[in-house]
Amino acid sequence: ECTDFHQHIQLLPYLAVKSSLCVTRLYSRPFIESFEETPMLVAVLTYMGYGILTIFGYLRDFLRHWKIERCHIAREREVQKDFVPLYQDFENFYTRNLYMRIRDNWNRPICSVPGAKMDLMERASHDYNWTFEYTGRVVQDVINLGSYNYLGFAENTGPCADSAAEVTMKYGVGVASTRQETGNLDRHEEMEKLVAKFLGVESAMAFGMGFATNSMNIPALAGKGCLILSDELNHASLVLGARLSGSIIRVFKHNNMQSLEKLLREAIVHGQPRTHRPWKKILIVVEGIYSMEGSIVHLPEVIALKKHYRAYLYLDEAHSIGALGPRGRGVVDYFGLDPCDVDVMMGTFTKSFGAAGGYIAGKRLIEYLRSHSHSAVYATSMSPPVVEQIITSMKCIMGEDGTAIGRERVRQLAENTVYFRKRLREMGFIIYGNNDSPVIPMMLYMPAKIGAFGREMLKRNIGVVVVGFPATPIIESRARFCISAAHTKDMLNRALSVISEVGDLLQLKYSRHRIQPSLARPFDDNVYEDIDD
């Protein structure tokens, strides 16, 4: 049957969390997430769509092979024709035949600040997306629902930009040395102290790239003989870091605490595979907000489990730092928990702070990383103006610069999120994720609609992000909106009306559990009533 499930509260089946705490007391506020199931007809049509595309793909490959159709793909050099081929044909089947058709929805170049409104460079293709040429025109004032600009710090005026400009003229742009050699500027030290204060932990360390932070520091924390329990939908950087560390990796179902507990129990009881020696340590790797689902990790339960089983927790707050919580301190703040409970807090500066780079923070951990992290020894340190941007924006969020701008932005973001999600749900779209997460995936399902949605929205001057396979499961392609504190109510309303228009045009309003519209709206025959659980 097709019921969706509103996950309010779940009781852990084992008596692990010893009787004292019923799970309801772990959550201080309602935790509402929903992942409506795919309607059966839509699933069937989607599979059919992919099937037809695959058949056409084989046909086109056949025509290209026999030179009936002109081939646009780049070719190997004549001299190297007898080398082992660099790519296997079937590896690129998907890229050649499906991705190429709708390629114009990605890699759209912009030529302004990636703020709430941006300017896109117009591109035209005369050979069905194999090559692009720039017409030279600029599409102005496109509403930006794609950039990760949660608190609106992507701006070229204001105190952040001014201080960054000052530092550029004073320090220059590059550093040309690693942290351990001569790359450690006084600004780096100040920034790290500030990050530690912001998160409420003992100390922090910053790195030049968020992806590299994960892939270079997880190997320093876990090694052979350790176990990493990672969520199904973890980001590629976490997966790469776990692989490079050499530990055993076990995956638990997404946000499923029973699955995690079962794995923990099995691991401790049975020990390492084959030798049954006890594990050296167990590291649970989760993210704050999962960017493809819009779901928030069940942090109180994970912490309760971690404490009971003595595992360590690695929390990747790439999207949630600055975007969640009444003070903008991330998912720990959102649940009102103690930051000391999380062993390793990791995050990035790209999303909410308008800069670049990542950080790791924790207790008693940073001395080890300063001497043993791959990045500190071999990679160049961060650029001074980027560091300055982080310092200024963080001070603004904390309120230390004397204004209330930071607090205001955090509040605005929360308000925008709740409003946008409510309106989208009322219109009848299927939205995944938690009610409070500013990342909003809207389901499209069918492959043709991915391309159509992106193009129709651009025609109406709104820039959105669409994602399909392989970033998502094959039939669950979606459009993803990222709400920003810089979006005004007008922009949101305009975006919503356009989304509704395009949704009607492409028949995207799949949801069968529409919220009853408010009485102010006229009665509409097409509205379904709420189904009782």
CA distance 492 to 416: 8
Helix or strand (DSSP H, E) at 454: helix 447-459
* Nearest to other proteins of 351, 425 (CB atom): 351
Would you count residue 374 as binding other proteins (CB under 8 A)? yes
Contacting other proteins within 63-82 (CB under 8 A):
74-77, 79-80, 82
For the CB of residue 263, give the shortest distance to other proteins in the complex, in Å.
Answer: 13
* Nearest to other proteins of 146, 428 (CB atom): 146
Extract the tokens encoding 518.
Answer: 């408010």
Would you count residue 377 as binding other proteins (CB under 8 A)? yes
Closest among 155, 148, 187 to 171, alpha carbons compared: 187
* Nearest to other proteins of 379, 496 (CB atom): 379
Residue 408 CA neighbour count, 13 Å, CB half: 10
Binding window for other proteins (CB under 8 A); candidates: 21-29, 46-54, 306-314, 428-436 = 306-314
For the CB of residue 386, give the shortest distance to other proteins in the complex, in Å.
Answer: 6
Strand partners, 313: 284
* Nearest to other proteins of 393, 412 (CB atom): 393
List C-alpha distances in Å: 343 to 188, 316, 327, 365, 509.
23, 11, 21, 9, 43
Q: Which of 39, 57, 114, 200 lies at the binding interface for other proteins (CB under 8 A)?
A: 114
Would you count residue 292 as binding other proteins (CB under 8 A)? no
CA distance 481 to 439: 6
For the four alpha carbons of 449, 455, 461 and 463, in that order, the dihedral sign comes to: positive
Contacting other proteins within 400-439 (CB under 8 A):
none
- Binding footprint of other proteins, residue count (CB under 8 A): 119
Extract the tokens encoding 218.
Answer: 């997880």
CA distance 399 to 76: 57
Would you count residue 269 as binding other proteins (CB under 8 A)? yes
* Nearest to other proteins of 168, 461 (CB atom): 168
Would you count residue 354 as binding other proteins (CB under 8 A)? yes
Q: What is the pairing mode between strands 312-316 and 282-287?
A: parallel
232 SS3 class: coil
Q: Which of 54, 97, 112, 256 lies at the binding interface for other proteins (CB under 8 A)?
A: 112
Closest among 111, 95, 183 to 144, alpha carbons compared: 111
* Nearest to other proteins of 428, 451 (CB atom): 451
Binding window for other proteins (CB under 8 A); candidates: 104-112, 433-441, 505-513, 522-530 = 104-112
For the CB of residue 405, give the shortest distance to other proteins in the complex, in Å.
Answer: 16
DSSP output for 23-37: GGGG-SS---EE-PP
* Nearest to other proteins of 332, 360 (CB atom): 360
